[in-house]
Structure 1
């Protein structure tokens, strides 16, 4: 499973966060069960209670970003948007931010 270190308290925690591919532990559990079936490893299947217990004992958590990400950035992150379209998006975002900063600076000067 793809993991991320804690961004906010790396020094004080050993918790590993799973990349934001799953919305819930239940969704991850369903994928685990499907994986076991696809590999003919039904003997590895377990109850959701045991899955949650092991998940917690391994000090894992599902990553949830502190800031919302736009749909375009999320699409790129998961490979659903071309690099060219993503770069255009980033350029538009930076231009909009520059215009906002310019407007804020001019507003402050007038007041």
Structure 2
């Protein structure tokens, strides 16, 4: 993994959320070019800032590095699955397997 992963991951998560670099910079309490400097390769976030970015996207650090395109959605789905009974889980498992067959 190299530094380009962090830049690309932030861009991926930001675009999935539908916000601009400027808005994200502002929401994180930084100057308007903060996120642009990261995504353009001029700088990298500190570890503290990376945690703040994860909080911003409502994900954990492992989820950030996991690469899922929408980790919050996956977390929400998993949370819902935990509330289902075993019969319903088997039904969903069959459905997922069918979708993956394409």
Higher helix proportion: 2
Higher strand proportion: 1
Bigger Cα Rg: 1
Confirm or deny a common fold (TM above 0.5): no
